[in-house]
Structure 1
Amino acid sequence: MPTSPYEFLDLVVIGAGPGGLAGAVTAADLGKRCVLLDGGHSTGGQYYRHPAPGLGAARPDRLHHGWSVYTGLAERLAEHERAGRVEFRGGHHVWALERTDEGFTVHATRGPDAGDRVAVRARAVLLATGAYERQLPFPGWTLPGVVTAGGAQAMLKSGLVLPGQRIVVAGSGPLLLAAASSLVTAGARVPAVVEATGYLAYARRPHVVAAVPAKLVEGAGHGTALLRHRVRPRLRSAVVEAHGTDRVTGVTVARLDADWRPKPGTERRIDCDAIAVGHGLLPQIDLATELGADTLAGPDGAVALAVDAGMRTSVPGLWSAGETNGVGGADLAIAEGELAAHDLAGAEPKRSLRRRRARLRAFADLMAAAHRPGPGWTGWLRPDTDVCRCEEVPVAKVREAVEELGAGDPRTVKLLTRAGMGWCQGRMCGPAVACLSAGSGSAASESGAGVGAAGPDRRPFGCPVPLSQLAAGEPDA
């Protein structure tokens, strides 16, 4: 479905993960013509990331939960592509949304050359850009062999490789169990799954858990895989230091109190050659916040887009589905993608779809509250621990900016220390800088504020863009 530079589509969907795929094919079912954009060269997003064809993976389904759901969506997309109702464009990194009188111009880059700038025009946009991992630094976290929990899964799913042979999985949240289960099934040794919280919060709201039995089955599957390989989670514990010179050789694990402060005398060393660590996910919403979209803070402090029952944001013509509305997994993203497509098409969805979304969103909120980081995590930092990896800014510099130079927010800390100015634009260090910026004695610090999605400042670019493309004339679609 090639488009001319001045042809307006009904819809541009940004993100080809579960929510974007569901939104695109449902919109096409309802008669809308749309383009589906994604930075990856295949559909599926981070959740349904799969090996490149050249690797010859015979059973990609064994690396995923719910693979048949993805294949069903992919088949529907292929049918609509053949009919000319949808066009998937991979390798398109969207860097800005521009409001126009008619709707939106979506600006993307597909390479380093001036001619690689792309603009797509449409009456409406569905944002399904997913999330990125929340990282809390610790001494040694910059050593080779330390990867994110999602990164370890990505290496396995897309490259069929492991980050090491003896891997400690650490952090907080349900992604840990999924990552550990995948790693041991693929042949890695996992000497410990180190979870900073417990699971008691789920038991306190049994009706929410019982309303989503598929989540119980999924969790039981991960737990069974770990027990089969004799892996038992260490609850209310954290990796407080990684050891090694040229590569990780081990970690120190300590018990935590209710506020995530390490308990003296509980330290224990575990030998390993890799660490997969993550503290949940943060919604990737910068394209929408640059347009002034309203946001709200979730139970774990993460900032997400505020949407109504039809997944409309506060920006006219802009809908949102999935993790951008608060992290909740693939099933919730699919439900919200379908709801958004019905709303923008002016069609009434089935009541069962709204009920399913409500149940899944309630479980997502419970999950976020159960794994909210506590304010005491800064107790495992040392003055020389790098907070911002890109610019190599240590804890001491951030605290100096706050305590001696009067910085009281992440932006001022960034101006004084360069923390957050690097390649990742604050995605890795943002939560930690925000927490440290609150000050050790402030109410914000004591309440745990800043551990969510304080995230990068509003800026006109959602990803790096070559200067040659900015200087070039109006691009073709």
Structure 2
Amino acid sequence: MTSPAEAVEPVAAVQVAVIGAGPAGLAAAVHAAEQGAVTVLLDSGARLGGQYWRHSSAGLDSPGEASLHHDVATYRDLTRRLAALADRGRLTVRLEHHVWSVRADESGCTVAAIDRRDLRRPAEVVLRASVLVLAAGAYDRQLPFPGWDLPGVLTVGGAQALLKGSGVAVGPRVLVAGTGPFLLPVATALAARGADVLGVHEANRPGRWLRQLPAALSQPAKLTEAAGYALALARHRVPLHTRSVVIAAHGGDRLEAVTVARLDWAGRVRRDTCRRQPVDVLAVGYGFSTSAELAAQAGCTLHPTSDATLAVTTDGAQRTSNPWVFAAGEITGVGGAQLAVAEGIVAGAGAAAASESAAGGPVSAVLPAAVRTRDRLRRFAAAMHEVYPVPPFWLDTLEPDTVVCRCEEVTVAEIDAAISAGARDSRSVKLLSRSGMGWCQGRECGYATSCLVAARTGQPVDLANGAGRPVAAPIPLGLLAGPGADLSP
């Protein structure tokens, strides 16, 4: 944050800019460029693939890497086509470019990013795009509980990122907890890499799938995948506990033990089932929150989803309420990599067509097969969210000194004090307590703060509070004087 920015590059003009190089962004960039649009792909990471295909410098072809990934064939196909398009000058890839501002007007979008390839001399890059595709993805959703800020407690996604990116199993004795199918591949991979996975604690009941049989049976490959994880866990003697959660972490300088408990049928803690378990690392996650900051900047309509996050609203062509902006992948609703690829194909094709037509005009290049795949996988994703909701138990575990906002070290007691002072929504609580004003700008604590305020005041949960951020990523202060620094709402 303290380094001055280098001179800004001249503003470059492209037909389609794609933000995010995960499954959705890769698919969108490749299909936009293959349909003739001059395309640029930007991503904050050092390598293509996003979180799903995260890998080390050894690449996905190395024996130790390929076993950690699914659908590597799709990644190889997309990157091969991307390289061919780059050689022909149709597609430019800009890695380690962190987009911090998107502004849309009547003729297109201005994208401002910071080039972090040389951390000592960061530079701003400003692009002018006729059409923008947002594929910014999502991140782990965390719930606060006593001791969750101890060293040794991390997200399930963080554990997987260390394994995929660096080959590091996070600890000798690991407990995996939370809800959702993402717990299973992470626990399986950790066990396969030599960690002693003491158990997987799933807050919900997989039996809830019985109510969603049509959606489940429509995806036999996913059922086979789930069965494979179950067999792998059994082979490694990793127990799977359902309706079971971690309600507290204990330790001094680092994590030493956790308290686990069963949930009743209403999702509340059964105190008579509490037990303490020694552990070195806790990997915990309760689904995902979308990275919707750039969509909010661009004026795109957002809507709450059934899995308690904000998603970008799109039409059948993946076009948002802003005619110059398309969206694909997890920011339109969390549904997995296959759905993200399908949406990326549709968005890329639509963006290429829209870049040659008037804003709001018909999009003729949508691929029918991708649309059918997308719609089928969306139905499965909707069923999955019904099976794995966030149970309400965590609100009962909070103590006055439990930290809610780790960046600013704001506790439950301080949020309660803000409510006692008259705050009735999470924005007012933020202003009075600083919850959400730290480095992550509420990405970690925003959901928990909104739910806590709603529970205390009897108001509905307002996930939209704080969604709009004029600066979407940490940047050198010198960039605020540059051409990408329009911070107007």
TM-score normalised to structure 1 length: 0.93
Equivalent residue for 1:463?
Answer: 473
Give the counterpart of 1:20 among 25, 30, 51: 25
1:113–1:469: 8 Å Cα contact kept in structure 2?
A: no
Displacement after TM superposition at 1:332 (Å)? 0.2
Equivalent residue for 1:392?
Answer: 409
Displacement after TM superposition at 1:74 (Å)? 0.9
Equivalent residue for 1:410?
Answer: 426
Question: What does 1:75-474 correspond to in 2, within 5 Å?
Answer: 75-111=80-116, 116-346=123-353, 347-402=364-419, 404-440=420-456, 442=458, 444=460, 449=461, 453-454=463-464, 456-472=466-482
User: Letter of the aligned partner of 1:81 in structure 2?
Assistant: A
Identity %: 45
Residues 275 and 454 (structure 1), Cα distance of their counterparts in 2 relative to 1, 3 Å cut: farther
Question: Are 1:43 and 2:53 an aligned pair?
Answer: no
Equivalent residue for 2:4?
Answer: none
* In 2, Cα distance between equivalents of 1:243 and 1:114: 42
Three-state SS of the structure 2 residue aligned to 1:438 is helix
User: Letter of the aligned partner of 1:421 in structure 2?
Assistant: M
User: Letter of the aligned partner of 1:19 in structure 2?
Assistant: A
Three-state SS of the structure 1 residue aligned to 2:393 is helix
* In 2, Cα distance between equivalents of 1:456 and 1:188: 38
User: Letter of the aligned partner of 1:399 in structure 2?
Assistant: D
Equivalent residue for 2:6?
Answer: none
Displacement after TM superposition at 1:296 (Å)? 1.5
1:114–1:469: 8 Å Cα contact kept in structure 2?
A: no
Give the counterpart of 1:66 among 61, 65, 71: 71
Residues 443 and 26 (structure 1), Cα distance of their counterparts in 2 relative to 1, 3 Å cut: same
Displacement after TM superposition at 1:355 (Å)? 1.4
Q: Which moved more, 1:43-52 or 1:361-370?
A: 361-370
* In 2, Cα distance between equivalents of 1:150 and 1:55: 18
Q: List per-residue Cα deviations over 1:185-223 (Å, max 9, x = no partner).
A: 111111111111111222212111111222112212222
Q: List per-residue Cα deviations over 1:404-434 (Å, max 9, x = no partner).
A: 1121111111111111111011111111100
Displacement after TM superposition at 1:362 (Å)? 0.8
Displacement after TM superposition at 1:113 (Å)? 6.3
Runs of 4+ in 1 over 3 A off after TM superposition: 4-7, 53-59, 111-115, 346-350, 453-457, 472-475
* In 2, Cα distance between equivalents of 1:467 and 1:367: 42
* In 2, Cα distance between equivalents of 1:395 and 1:443: 18
2:114–2:122: 8 Å Cα contact kept in structure 1?
A: no
Structure 2: runs of 5 or more not aligned: 1-8, 354-363
Across the aligned residues of Structure 1 and Structure 2, the Cα RMSD in angstroms comes to: 2.0
* In 1, Cα distance between equivalents of 2:122 and 2:58: 28
2:317–2:366: 8 Å Cα contact kept in structure 1?
A: no
* In 2, Cα distance between equivalents of 1:321 and 1:474: 24
User: Letter of the aligned partner of 2:91 in structure 1?
Assistant: V
* In 2, Cα distance between equivalents of 1:388 and 1:441: 19
* In 2, Cα distance between equivalents of 1:37 and 1:372: 33
* In 2, Cα distance between equivalents of 1:231 and 1:394: 35
Q: Which moved more, 1:464-473 or 1:414-423?
A: 464-473
| Length, aligned pairs only | 465
User: Letter of the aligned partner of 2:371 in structure 1?
Assistant: R
Residues 258 and 180 (structure 1), Cα distance of their counterparts in 2 relative to 1, 3 Å cut: same
Residues 126 and 471 (structure 1), Cα distance of their counterparts in 2 relative to 1, 3 Å cut: same
* In 2, Cα distance between equivalents of 1:283 and 1:430: 12
Q: Which moved more, 1:389-398 or 1:107-116?
A: 107-116
Displacement after TM superposition at 1:377 (Å)? 2.0
User: Letter of the aligned partner of 2:72 in structure 1?
Assistant: W
Residues 465 and 6 (structure 1), Cα distance of their counterparts in 2 relative to 1, 3 Å cut: closer
Structure 1: runs of 5 or more not aligned: none
Displacement after TM superposition at 1:7 (Å)? 4.5
User: Letter of the aligned partner of 1:239 in structure 2?
Assistant: V
Residues 474 and 395 (structure 1), Cα distance of their counterparts in 2 relative to 1, 3 Å cut: closer
Three-state SS of the structure 2 residue aligned to 1:190 is strand
* In 1, Cα distance between equivalents of 2:238 and 2:390: 24
* In 2, Cα distance between equivalents of 1:454 and 1:385: 24
* In 2, Cα distance between equivalents of 1:210 and 1:272: 37
1:113–1:466: 8 Å Cα contact kept in structure 2?
A: no
User: Letter of the aligned partner of 1:417 in structure 2?
Assistant: S
